[in-house]
């Protein structure tokens, strides 16, 4: 299997009318090098200044069993942020679509195929892949918002809708707090379609001015960025302008093509088993 030309998205099927693959096709996956976007925020090393994961949820997973009966499941995929590549979301959708009319022995076979395919394209070990039949989904938590002080209740005026980190200022007092907002919006770097995201920021250090932070979050509104890169930009700019002693930035995006992407970046090492993959009402 060859890795696509990640320097030229126009060489892929992205942004074009795509044929529905009649059989399983791993070559639908389109990897994009993380370093190409990280260099724009001053990260030039192969080892970024944070820890974290990207959690993907896919709600449109289906294949055929050996009797030709369609089966459906939910997929959860967790990728370490130190992987060399990300997978473009439309290509992930096209990849999963190629399973729809293909026959597999059992759910474990499908799960292992997905893990192996992603590892080849990401040039990294995939932390976690799990397919769950709908009959095994019990008591799924659905929250109205992320935990923390909701900044969206602030009555402020906004005038800038392209990323402006100069809004990030601190007060004199030290604190530890968790802040959240549902107003993060960007546009896809490839398709220019809107991406909506809720963001949670937990930090310890000089108190970040709440009104400035909200204006900063809103200032992403017309930017073109991948979800993973947007969360990394927020992390690096808060570190640069506010100098917290510790920082965690977590984003939960809305679905496109049955997929949502939920990145988390932190100054602290994170245990993947402790991450609660709880859906928001917009997801």
Is position 188 annotated as part of the catalytic site? yes
Instruction: Exactly one of 81, 180, 188, 230 is catalytic; name it.
Output: 188
Alpha carbon distance 214, 184 (integer Å) = 9
176 φ/ψ angles, rounded to the nearest 5 degrees: -135, 125
Q: What is the dihedral of CA 144, 148, 152, 153, to 10 degrees?
A: 100
CB 87 within 8 A of CB 121: yes
DSSP string, the chain: -PPP-TT-GGGSSTTS-----SS--GGG--EEEHHHHHGGGT--SSS-SSEEEEEEEEEEEEEE-TTS-EEEEEEEEEEETTSSEEE-HHHHHHHHHTTTT-B-S-HHHHHHHHHHHHHHHHTS--SEEEEEEGGG--S--EESS-SSEEGGGS-------S--GGG--EEEEEEEEEEEEEEEEEE-TTT--EEEEEEEEEEEEEEEPHHHHHHHHHTTTT-B--HHHHHHHHHHHHHHHH--SEEEEEEEEPPBTTEEEEEEEESS---GGG---PEETT-
CB 247 within 8 A of CB 21: no
Instruction: Exactly one of 54, 182, 195, 260 is catalytic; name it.
Output: 195
Is position 117 annotated as part of the catalytic site? no
Q: Catalytic amino acids?
A: 188, 195
């Amino acid at each position: 299997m060859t890795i696509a030309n990640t320097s030229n998205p126009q060489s892929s099927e992205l942004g074009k009318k795509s044929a529905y693959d009649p059989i399983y096709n791993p070559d639908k996956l389109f990897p994009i090098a993380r370093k190409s976007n990280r260099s724009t925020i001053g990260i030039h090393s192969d080892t970024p200044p944070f820890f974290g994961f990207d959690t993907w949820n896919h709600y449109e997973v289906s294949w055929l069993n050996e009797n030709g009966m369609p089966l459906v499941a939910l997929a959860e995929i967790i990728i370490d942020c130190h992987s060399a590549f990300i997978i473009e979301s439309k290509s992930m959708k096209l990849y999963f679509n190629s399973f729809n009319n293909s026959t597999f022995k059992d759910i474990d076979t499908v799960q292992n195929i997905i893990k192996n395919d992603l590892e080849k394209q990401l040039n990294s070990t995939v932390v976690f892949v799990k397919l769950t039949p709908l009959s095994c989904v019990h008591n799924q938590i659905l929250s109205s918002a992320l935990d923390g002080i909701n900044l969206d209740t602030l009555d402020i005026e906004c005038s800038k809708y392209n990323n402006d980190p100069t809004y990030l200022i601190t007060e004199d007092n030290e604190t530890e707090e968790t802040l959240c907002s549902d107003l993060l919006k960007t546009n896809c770097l490839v398709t220019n379609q809107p991406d909506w995201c809720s963001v949670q920021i937990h930090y310890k250090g000089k108190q970040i001015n709440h009104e400035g932070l909200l204006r900063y979050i809103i200032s992403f509104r017309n930017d073109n960025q991948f979800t993973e890169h947007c969360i990394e930009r927020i992390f690096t700019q808060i570190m640069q302008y506010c100098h917290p002693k510790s920082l965690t930035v977590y984003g939960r995006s809305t679905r496109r093509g049955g997929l949502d992407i939920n990145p988390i970046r932190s100054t602290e090492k994170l245990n993947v088993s402790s991450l609660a993959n709880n859906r928001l009402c917009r997801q």
